[in-house]
Structure 1
Amino acid sequence: MTALDLPRSVSVRAAAKINLHLGVGAVRDDGFHPLETVYQAISLYDDVTLASSVVRARGLECADYIDAGDVPLGDDNIAFRALDLVRARTGRPGHESVNILKSIPVAGGMAGGSADAAATLLAYDRLHALDLPDAVLLQLAAELGSDVPFSLVGGTARGRGRGEVVQPLDDRGTWWWVAVASDVGLSTPEVYRHHDRLFPDAPTEPAEPADLLAALATGEPLRLARTLHKDLQAPAVDLRPELGTLIDRGEGEGALRGIVSGSGPTCIFLCDSLDGAHAVVAGLQGAGHDVVLIANGPVAGAHLLEHP
């Protein structure tokens, strides 16, 4: 492909992440916790558009339920770090403009920043027709954060190590979720520290999620609901008791099961169907919760949206 054939801009879509299972082992000497997790990508998306540019430019558009002021536009934005990393590793000169269209709740345990980073890596590769092997993109993703590799892979997958070692799972179910975002964040490091205080005798390695993997294979929502598990839920609810109240309310409105997403504060509810999800949404909105979203999963990982 010649320079004249290269696309002028590329848009990549990446999905929100939830954890169906999150087992947390005892903190290691390096400060990290060994994890045993099952990820699922659901149909809440961010879009990242890269275009060749003579200067570095950054833009942001947000869904009406997201405060743009909560999204950093400096070098602490993981998408911009992803761009700097892949440019440095490939040795390409020049600049790209970056525009992020954000619909994944911010700081809600749904890996919106990781989705943006994964989308940026893929967009850069496609914009410059590099054709980097998947293994290289996954390695770069793992350097950026534990959830970034899964954001590339999508679907339903098992994560080990710090969560960055991803193994896709065969999941033929269609699962309906309701997500309730919070306008007050919850510090992930603090949730992990509180986990260590509450569970000083946590195992060195968390147990495998055998029951949940078996439930996924059945495609039965009620069976999956019974096996959802989060080691970080107890510390998150202990720090923010209103999350426990929200989970009880969602289940009272008909959800099969409610759990915190990641380390919180977003709560997600598994429902038996799309109609069941709408009923839960109506009940939670009636209880005063403003940002209540329906999504299904699993959906694809980062993928090309347009390639003009």
Structure 2
Amino acid sequence: HVGVGTVLILSGLAKKMLIANYLATELVDPVFFDPTAVSALDLLIGVYGYAIQIYCDFSGYSDIAIGVAALLGYRFLENFNQPYRASSLQDFWRRWHISLSTWLRDYLYKPLGGNRQGEARTYRNLFLTMFLGGIWHGAAWTFVFWGTFHGAMLGIERYVRRRLDEFAPPNGEAGGVASAIGHGAQHIVGVVWTFHLVCFAWIFFRADSFSTAGSYLAGFARWSDPSQYATPFLVGLIALAMLFQFTPRDLGRWLAQGLQWLPSPILGLILGGGIWLIWAVAPEGVAPFIYFQF
């Protein structure tokens, strides 16, 4: 428990204070403040940055809470599971904010009938569940759009997948290297497509109004304008954070297993020294956790 708690607390603080806070202050906040004043490249990097910021902000806060609980002898389930490696929106919602998505599934989607009452009602239930999930985040039309967009795309994704399955060869007839390459390419395309669908919806989630979101989207026509924010540091920070989405899932557990054999005083020094180092390197000021407003 101590090793797990140490790893989770330090990783959570690093996500929040070193990645989320830097991206918020140096990129996301200024880009979303006035999308008309920046180039299309800045807008693209800005929404990528917000995707990483909100993930690191919320998963970092979750990691810290779960880590503190582990130090006290309690075990809580993970709340995020590398969501940006998802190859579909359905997969994304199995990985993102797992406590909320599980609650929506168990207390909204299933009571509405789930997928047990025919295709039409399944699509309706998906849409209503995500629509209500959007309202849960706030009584603003941008949140409503965010929820309804996810609900609509989940329905479209389900419909397309079921239609494609009708043309798939029976089990056992497909195989070989060519089939494996095809499945691999399909998976990569799915990951890229899903990430950009999620990023599109994040624009409305982050924007303070439909007008701001509209200005943001319209700005993607300004590719000839010079970039202000495509610095090596910010691009590298986003790339590094995305890289960790594709590391082995058990990496944290391996680190925790390596720490559990250390004496308690050494673990205390590692935890205290890690917290001090993160605090020293982090940007000045305190950026509140995004999800504290919901």
TM-score using structure 2 length = 0.32
Specify which structure has the higher proportion of helix: 2
Instruction: Answer with 1 or 2: which has the greater Rg.
Output: 2
Specify which structure has the higher proportion of strand: 1
TM-score using structure 1 length = 0.31
